[in-house]
Amino acid sequence: GYWFSVWYKGEQIVTTQVSGSSEYTLNNLGEGEYTAYITAYNDSSSKQGSVTFRVNYVSGEQTIPNGRYQICSALDNSSVISISGASTDDEANVLLYANERHDNQYFDFEYLGDGYYKITAKHSGKVLDVYWEKMEAGANVQQYYWNNGDNQQWVVKDAGDGYFYIISKSNSLYMDVYGGVASNDVNIDTYTGHGGTSEKWKLIPAGEQSVADGKYQICTALDDSSVISISEASKDACANALLYANENHKNQVFNFEYQGDGYYKIIARHSGMVLDVYNSEQSSGANVEQYPWKNCDNQKWVVKPAGDGYYYIVSKGNGLYLDVYGGVAVNDANIDTYFGHGGASEKWRLIPVNEPENLLTVKGCSVSLKENIGVNMYASFSDDILEDDGAKVRFTYADNSYIEVPLSNYMSTTYNNENVKKITFDTVPAKLTEKIKVSVIKSDDTQTNMFSFSTSDYLYALINSTDKSIDANQKNIAKALLNYGAYSQIYFGVDTADLANKKLTDNTVEKTDSDTVIKSIQGQENGLFSNKDFEYIGSSLVCDSSTDLKLYFVNKSRLTMKQIENQYDISVANKNTHGFDVGTDGNILWIKVKDLRPKELEEMYSVRILSDDGSVIVETSPSAYIKKALLSEDVKLENLCKAMWAYGQAAREYEK
């Protein structure tokens, strides 16, 4: 026969005679190690076998506050636990589904005080339940009426990175997405804990006070210099909400008022009306407008953190996210509500406007025509910035690269009788259309609002201005510079889809005959072009951050720079003082006259390589190079040179 016995903590708790195929169930076991013995015997002998096992019960603590949550899968945060078909029946299945913010996708978490939570479906009042208290991996999850069973109690355990494990008390298995793939109607079961993404869940509160009441600008994560605005500052009901460059106008400021029930009322400062989902529409793409406050769900909003200082703003009425239509930050882009996808078009930074600190305000801009194209921005700053010795102006370029310059480097002046700083930076002809974002970084790494600017924006504003103080010469040089920029873009292949002169109605460059320009150029190259060591072979214009004249000489004796410096005295003479660089490139000696002003294109420069044994002296001008280039039969180069010549002529007229 057979004897079966079980020992626990030194005591025999079970002893019984069993048959060879018996099954024995142990109930109400305490935690710890158990050893079970089976002894087979007959009249002459016996043989014993044993097995040791341990019983552990999962236990937890209160890891989240009581409240209503959505249970989002770590596989895809836009997929959430849902009750199939929004059924209110017992044993209705639990599954994964795209987040549509329906009531069957919200659950009330209630801590029971002993390490476990009760999780109740909002729509039905039924709780999440392990089917028939099954113990094996793969046991299904359903909804069922509350009976205080262990299969209805759950540990919510921190899994790191903002995620949680949800573990059944009854079988110690983890709530899991079957198959590990996030798709609609995939089943939810309980499974052995393996730490994988299919067992991790993000618990998103249905709504709470996440930002303090106050006035804010709502800046898109697509471009912090663009904010939600009410179209044309209208005070009419149904005026559209759209995206626009931040101009610090009142129609770009909104008052957030928490209503105490998880939702905010968002009021346009200029009109007193609230952000409203048009006609309470439920479909993705429903438009956002301003409308008088009616205390309706389509006027209430959840504001919940999206990470990195951004927020999602979600309509109570349709559960959809405030979104930039098309996902591109441009002026007049529409604001609608759209399904949650976690993209930048649905993320918003809320910038307080009632805070007198951390503020950059641009009062005006100008362009100066010197050795290069200088952009001047006249800006005022809040006192905290001006008092910060470590504050830096950041210039962010189209490729997201940036440079920083100490704010103290810029001079203080006045603009329209206001105290400002004159912020200056240089651009090149081929990049007149490049959008540059200007902000200030304080010593504590706090960043101000951004101001977005391109040189072409200012030039077109000048051309179209009705201000009588702006004369024809100013407008002519602005047009000439836009043409010069456009043909630089074409010649160098820089952003040719956005040419600087695209808005000009009269393009005089291509209409200008090259022979006319050639005849107007008076300067001729002359001098001593060769000696035993060097022979002059030509020049070029370098159009980079400045305009430079570069002369090339064959280095017949292949002298090193040190030998050249020892044997020759190199200089540049002109009525204006210009620096110059000297270098070698293989068997070429080059001399670059730097920082030529637009009006100096027709002036002569004497480049001298002097020695007692024989000198080379070249008398030339930028216009001499232009004259040669116009005979090159290279259409792009010809147009560039004609545009440069026209720009130089306009500069001479402007500076007379």
First to last CA, the chain: 122
Q: What distance in Å separates the CA atoms of residue 644 and residue 509, rounded to the nearest whole number?
A: 10
Residue range 278-299, pLDDT digits in tens = 999 977 899 999 999 999 989 9
Q: Which residue has tokens 């991996």?
A: 137
CA-nearest of 215, 182, 216, 219 to 197 is 182
Give the per-residue pLDDT at 511: 67
Amino acid identity for residue 644 in this structure? M
Give the sign of the dihedral formed by CA 594, CA 600, CA 601, CA 602.
negative
Residue 586: other Cβ atoms inside 10 A: 7
Q: What distance in Å separates the CA atoms of residue 38 and residue 51, rounded to the nearest whole number?
A: 9
Q: Which residue has tokens 């996030």?
A: 182
Give the per-residue pLDDT at 55: 75
Task: Provide CB contacts within 8 A for 116, sequence distance 6+.
Answer: 60, 153, 154, 155, 169
| Alpha-carbon distance values, 18 to 3, 29, 42, 581 (Å) | 6, 21, 14, 104
Give the per-residue pLDDT at 295: 94
Tell me 241's DSSP state: E
Phi and psi at residue 486, to the nearest 5°? -65, -45
Task: Provide CB contacts within 8 A for 28, sequence distance 6+.
Answer: none
358, two tokens: 């951390």
User: Exposed, middle or buried: residue 552 (CB in 10 Å: 0-12, 13-18, 19+)?
Assistant: middle
575, two tokens: 């009525």
Q: What distance in Å separates the CA atoms of residue 571 and residue 250, rounded to the nearest whole number?
A: 59
291, two tokens: 């409308």
Per-residue three-class SS string for 413-443: EEECCEEEEEEEEEECHHHCCCCEEEEEECC
292, two tokens: 């008088």
Task: Provide CB contacts within 8 A for 362, sequence distance 6+.
Answer: 377, 378, 379, 438, 451, 453
Instruction: For the chain, list residues with pLDDT below 50.
Output: none
- In three-state secondary structure terms, 82 is strand
Give the per-residue pLDDT at 26: 80
